[in-house]
Structures are given as C-alpha cells and as structure tokens.
Amino acid sequence: MYGIDASVLEGWPDPGLLEEAAVPLLEQAQGIVNVMQAAASEWSGLGDAYRAPEAAELLAAFGTPARVSEGLRAGLAVVYRALMGYADTVRELNRRRGVLLEDIADFRRRTQLHLGEAVAFDALPERQSLGGSSGASVALELGELRQRVSSLAAGHEQAEHDCARLIDGVRPVDGPVPVYYDGGMVTDAAVERTRSRLKDLETAEVGDAAGALEMLELWRTLTPGQLLDYGMAESDFLRSGFTSPPLVVQVRDWWAGLSAEQQAALLVAAPGVIGNLNGVPYKARARANRVNLDSVFKDPRTSETDKAALQVIYDALEPADRRSAAPERSIMSFTPEENGKPFVAVAIGDLDTATNVTWNVPGMRTTVADGLESWTKSAQDLYDGQVFADLINGDKGSNAVVSWVGYDSPDAPPSTEVLSTALAQTGGAKLAVALDGFTETRASESDGVTRPRLNVLAHSFGTTTASYALKALKHEVATATFFGSAGIAWREIGSAADLHVAKDATGEPEVYVTAAGDDRVAPLGIVGSGLRGREGRWSPSDEWFGGKNFSSEGGYDPETGKVYKRTTGHDAKGWAAEGSEDSVLAATGGHGYLDPETESARNIALTSTGRGELIKKLLPLQRKVMAVHGELVRIGPLIEDDLTPEELEEVRNR
C-alpha cells in the first residue's frame, strides 16, 4: 500500500505570532530592572540623612533583589531567543513545506496518484507506465517524497523540542529576595566563586589549553539557568572562543558528560566557544554558530559594512535549488572578527554522518564579503559531482563539502601579499587544526562504523596554504587535489611524499595536480614569488613534486563521445564573457575549474571520492571547419558538443 501522509506537516505555529509573543518579554523584563535600579538609586541618595549603624547593610540589601531582577531579565531573554529561533526555523520549514507540497502535487498530476490512494506497484502490469514513468521509477520517486515528508516533520519536531528545552532550562534565580535586614544576605557562595573564576579566566583570555579545560569543567558545575545567566554578559570572548582549546578527546568526554539541558543552554550562553570547539558534534556547533551569527548581526555595535558581510553568510546557507531535496547547509565555524574581518566555514551535507568529506580551500582575495558566495557555489558544484560519481559507480555512501573561508587570504595584485608565504603558513596552521579536529571528532564512532574519508581540495594560493597544513597534520587525509596552484615552498616541502596523505597500492601519495593551459594567473604567482630575493615557490605540476597530474584542457570521452569543456582561466567558477578583456585572465562562464561539465570538475569529483584511477585520457577538442581562400581548414571555434557515433569514429581515426 503506497500513499503520502502530509498531515504530519500541518498544525505548525505562525512564526509571526511567535515573534509578537517574544518581543514584549524583553521590554517587560527591562522595566523590572529599571524599577529596581531606580529604587536602589533613591535609597543610596539618603546616605547623608540616614546615619544609623545599619545603613550600609540596608543599602547592600538592594543587591539581592537587583541580582534577582537581572536574573529575571536573563531568563526572559533566553525565552525570547528560544521563541525567535523557533520562529526562524518554522519560517524556513514553511518554505520547504511549500516546495514539497508543490512537488507532491506535480507527482500526482504526472502519475494520477492521489494522496491517500492505495496503490500496490507490484500489482501493475510489467512495464506499464503511469504518466510516462515506469512503476519502478514511480515507486522510487514516491519513496523520496515520503522521506522528505518524514525529514521535514522530524525537523519541526526537533525545533519544537529545542525551543521547549531552552525554556524549561530557565530556573528561578538562586536566593530569596529579603524584605527586611536580618543580619545577613543569603547567596550561593560556590556559584559566586565559580562566576568569579570564570571572569578571571575570561580576563586572561584563557591563554592555554589548561585554562580552557578548567573553564569547561567550571561550566559543567552550573545549572542550565546559571549558564544562561552567565552568558547574558555577551562578552567578546563568548563570541569568539578559545585560542588554545583543550584536546579533542577531552572536549568529547566533557560534552558527553553534560545534560541535554546544559548542552542546550551553552549553545546560547557561549555560542562562539561551542561553535568553534573541535570535539563537539557538528550539528550542535552549527546551532551555536547560528545563534552567534544572529547575535552579532543584530548587535547595534555592528557596522553596516560588517552586516553586509554577515548577510553573505545568511545567503550562503540557502539551498542551491529550492525545488529539490538539496543537502542541508550549516555553519561549521564562525569567527565574527579577526584582523578586521569575519571568517566562516559553510558545510554542505552532514559532517556528523557523511562517509566522504572534502575541505575546499580557496586562494587569494577570498573573503566572506567578496568570495564566500562564489566559493560556496563551487563547493555545491563539487558536491553534486561527487554524488554523480557515487551514483554511476554504485556507491551508496554520503558526501559533505566544507566551503572553508577560514583564513586570511592575500589580496590580489597590486598587493604583493600573494608573493609571500606568510599568510599561507598562518592559514595552514588553522587548516591543520580544523582537519585533525574533524578526524578526532569523528573518531568517537564505535568500532565497526566506517571512518569517514577526508579529502583536501585547494585552489591557487590555497594550495600553498594547504601544503603547510598537510605537512603539519597528525592524521593522514585520503587525498589532496591542487588546481591552479600559486606554487609550493619547495625548500620546506620537498615533494608530495612530505605531505600526510595516504598512498596508493604502489606507494605513491594520493596527491593530484592540474593546471589549465589558459590559466595565466597561477604562473604569475609562482614566478613573482621568487622576486626581490625571495626563495620562491615551484609549480606542483612539475616532476620534482611527484604529484599525479591530470588534464583540464577538455575533450571527448573516447568511448561515448561525450564532451567535457576546457578550463579557460584561473577561476574555480567561470564568469567572464567570451572575448572580453576580462577573459584574458578570468575563466569564461561555465569554464572554471569546478564548473559542471568541465574535464577538471569531472576529474576532481573522481579524485575527491577515491577514484583517481578512473580518470581517463580524452580525445582532444576539435575545431570547426571554416573556408579560407576556398579551402576548408579547422580554424574555427572549438566544438564543445557531444559527438555523434560517426563524428566520434572520425576523431578516433585522425
């Protein structure tokens, strides 16, 4: 019996009403605080007139109700954030629900299958079609629609649960409000000592891993309500996180030892710490980073320029195709400000469960404000190529790609930053921490669970950065692929064998390299790196490096005649108009290294899924025949169309 029950997608709350209910909470809480502060101020003004021995104690007595009112504000602020976050999630789920219901309606029109009907596909006559689709394909599509309904319903259930858990975590502030002076104030001395020590650690900026671990252990001693109260300070530290975090295994054990309520509270109280902390599951990190992003974006201290950059992150989280079952997107890491700019890593796919994960490292002039959008689109193209490679090779694994704009990349010329390796060394250290952190976070899986394959893909100056990271790694990655490289520091990295990358059956490192003949930018970076007395960098495409080179020149599949386009410039995603001034250096539209249907993109999808051996040599692209002085010669534009069997045979015989 086959039907689609979409009723589980009904009855969700109106996001607008949730927001209307949330907004007054902060205003009411602030009103209470204002009243208490005014009362305390009035009493403090009586200092000269009221000189009784108990004067100091009487004035001090206002401390507890003031703290209670602040605690009330903190608690209501948590409720506010929980409701607003729930509203945002429901709004996004409503959008996805609308798309899904349209897809279901379209499916019904094409197959004449009405919701709620009982259809037994195994009872259909063999090869009978429904609306042009075979019974088998209809069953597959029906199964996909059911899965999407189930996934959407589960998403709402989780959002509702998270909201309720945050609200339930709000507790009354410890200690009664005294209505008269009784000789002493009732406070929780242990909690006060903990808060004091936490403040000391923050002031010292938690300079080492021992201090960071101490802070985590202190958080473990606080209730969810106390954690939320602590987080209301919204310090810069709580937005940014540790510079020297504890060991990943220590973080894993610490996180596992927290209650679900404590975990939920920390996502709100210390979003910058949790969102960037290796050892915490990536789903939890993503939620914390979203809280942090929202908080920074709405902060009145955030400039319009910074808000414009942060908006690019919001845009990058939108699915590439709203009408398809697109992979989830999330924020793997987020630093609001470092060296005057934000850094972020956007994950496409589920980093907690994916069996094949690829870090995509960009080159020069890639910032959040100017580069994240294009780089994430290329990451999506890579993801799609990997999924297709899995499909045609019968692999049922899952993929995730990280669009890693997580380091300070050099400015483009006339800046000379790209000629130095300084930023590559700093960025490489950060990349190594992220890669080893991923490996060790996922290492918590139980025995018998397949460990994820980790790959590194790097472009331009990103290859220089990645080479430093790969040499410094504690754990091997499965493959590394460099395209359009700006060169490798040969004195520090003697060959591909120096990198912590797995080796093939013959003992050769699984390090792949490609450079398009029309890429005129990458060689400039290599040559320029040797100017002004610098040591210089060498191309990894050359023999000294020992990488596995593949072509980006395009061609025809020798077996099928399918065409793969060439790469015409330095960009991962082509954008220049054919024949324009921009096209002298930039790749033309559809002809970037990672653009779908290019030879480079096909080969990179293979290398980054462990199938480098399937790269095949293509037949070279042919030019159209044109008449010149009465003779037919091949000087026309290159033919980038699939070949007919007759044309394929002709090309083979040339």
Model confidence over 455-484: pLDDT tens digits? 999 999 999 999 999 999 999 999 999 999
Rounded-to-integer distance, Cα 144 and Cα 160, Å: 24
* DSSP code at position 555: E
Among 104, 133, 168, the domain-final residue is 168
Map tokens 């939320």 to a residue: 228
CATH number reported for the structural domain that contains residue 518 in this entry:
3.40.50
522 and 633 both lie in a single domain:
no
Number of domains in the chain: 4
341 and 242 both lie in a single domain:
no
Model confidence over 177-235: pLDDT tens digits? 433 333 333 346 777 888 888 888 887 766 688 999 999 999 999 988 888 878 876 57
Domain of 643 in residue numbering reads as 623-652
Position 86 scores a pLDDT of 87
Position 623 scores a pLDDT of 87
Model confidence over 431-463: pLDDT tens digits? 999 999 999 999 865 544 568 999 999 999 999
Beta bridge partners of 361: 458
Model confidence over 301-332: pLDDT tens digits? 899 999 999 999 999 999 877 655 689 999 99
Assign 636 a pLDDT band (cuts: 50, 70, 90).
Answer: low
Beta strand extents in 66-142 (DSSP E only): 129-130, 133-134
Question: Shortest CA distance to 219 belongs to which of 189, 261, 161, 174?
Answer: 261
Residue 355 covered by a domain: yes
CB 368 within 8 A of CB 315: no
Model confidence over 524-577: pLDDT tens digits? 999 999 886 677 899 999 999 999 999 999 999 999 999 999 999 999 999 999
CATH number reported for the structural domain that contains residue 43 in this entry:
1.20.1260
146 and 45 both lie in a single domain:
yes
592 and 647 both lie in a single domain:
no
372 and 442 both lie in a single domain:
yes
Q: Which phi and psi (to 5°) does residue 373 adopt?
A: -60, -55
Say which range, 149-153, 274-278, 561-565, 628-632, has the weakest mean pLDDT: 628-632
Residue 292 covered by a domain: no
Structure tokens at 171: 């507790």
147 and 202 both lie in a single domain:
no
Position 67 scores a pLDDT of 58
Statement: residue 30 has pLDDT above 70: no
Residues 236, 238, 241, 246: what is their CA dihedral angle, to the nearest 10 degrees?
A: 140
Mean pLDDT of 123-151: 61
Residue 321 covered by a domain: yes
Question: Shortest CA distance to 241 belongs to which of 268, 219, 272?
Answer: 272
- The residues, ordered by sequence, that sit 6+ positions from 263 with a Cβ below 8 Å of its Cβ are 255, 284
Position 545 scores a pLDDT of 98
Assign 118 a pLDDT band (cuts: 50, 70, 90).
Answer: very low
Beta bridge partners of 628: 631
- The full DSSP string for 291-303 is HHHHHHHH-TTS-
210 and 85 both lie in a single domain:
no
Mean pLDDT of 24-51: 58
Model confidence over 390-446: pLDDT tens digits? 999 998 889 999 999 999 999 988 788 989 999 999 999 999 999 999 999 998 655
Statement: residue 55 has pLDDT above 70: no
Q: Hey, how many other C-beta atoms are within 10 angstroms of the C-beta on 498?
A: 16
- The full DSSP string for 368-426 is TTTBHHHHHHHHHHHHHHHHHHHHHTT----EEEEEEE-S-PPPPTTS-GGGSSHHHHH
Among 251, 275, 299, the domain-final residue is 275
Among 135, 168, 201, the domain-final residue is 168
Q: Is the dihedral of CA 295, 296, 297, 300 positive or negative?
A: positive
Residue 287 covered by a domain: no
Structure tokens at 279: 């050892």
Rounded-to-integer distance, Cα 570 and Cα 587, Å: 6
Structure tokens at 167: 């609200």
204 and 349 both lie in a single domain:
no
Beta bridge partners of 631: 628
Assign 176 a pLDDT band (cuts: 50, 70, 90).
Answer: very low
259 and 158 both lie in a single domain:
no
Rounded-to-integer distance, Cα 494 and Cα 546, Å: 10
Rounded-to-integer distance, Cα 177 and Cα 187, Å: 10
Length of the chain counted residue by residue:
654
Rounded-to-integer distance, Cα 545 and Cα 357, Å: 25
Using CB atoms within 10 Å of the CB of residue 90, give its burial: 0 to 12 exposed, 13 to 18 middle, 19+ buried: buried
Using CB atoms within 10 Å of the CB of residue 353, give its burial: 0 to 12 exposed, 13 to 18 middle, 19+ buried: middle
Q: What angle do CA 325, 326, 329 make, to 5 degrees?
A: 140
Q: For residue 342, give the amino acid letter.
A: P
Share the mean pLDDT of the chain.
Answer: 84
Say which range, 84-88, 109-113, 650-654, has the weakest mean pLDDT: 109-113
Position 522 scores a pLDDT of 95
* DSSP code at position 477: B
* Helix locations, 404-513, DSSP H: 422-442, 461-472
628 and 607 both lie in a single domain:
no
3-state secondary structure of 186: coil
161 and 207 both lie in a single domain:
no
Beta bridge partners of 129: 134
Residue 499 covered by a domain: yes
**Element holding 23 (H helix, E strand):** helix 15-44
Residue 290 covered by a domain: no
Map tokens 């990451």 to a residue: 379
Rounded-to-integer distance, Cα 315 and Cα 382, Å: 19
145 and 201 both lie in a single domain:
no
Residue 200 covered by a domain: yes
Position 553 scores a pLDDT of 98
Q: What are all long-range contacts of 4-10, with beta carbons under 8 Å and residues at least 24 apart?
A: 4/104, 4/115, 4/142, 4/145, 4/146, 4/149, 5/115, 5/116, 5/149, 6/100, 6/101, 6/104, 6/115, 6/149, 8/149, 8/150, 8/153, 9/97, 9/100, 9/101, 9/149, 9/152, 9/153, 9/156
Residue 482 covered by a domain: yes
Q: Hey, how many other C-beta atoms are within 10 angstroms of the C-beta on 119?
A: 18
- The pTM assigned to this predicted structure is 0.74
Rounded-to-integer distance, Cα 269 and Cα 239, Å: 9
Model confidence over 609-625: pLDDT tens digits? 999 999 999 999 998 77
Which one of 89-98, 353-362, 410-419, 636-645 scores highest in mean pLDDT?
353-362
Statement: residue 175 has pLDDT above 50: no
Statement: residue 288 has pLDDT above 60: yes
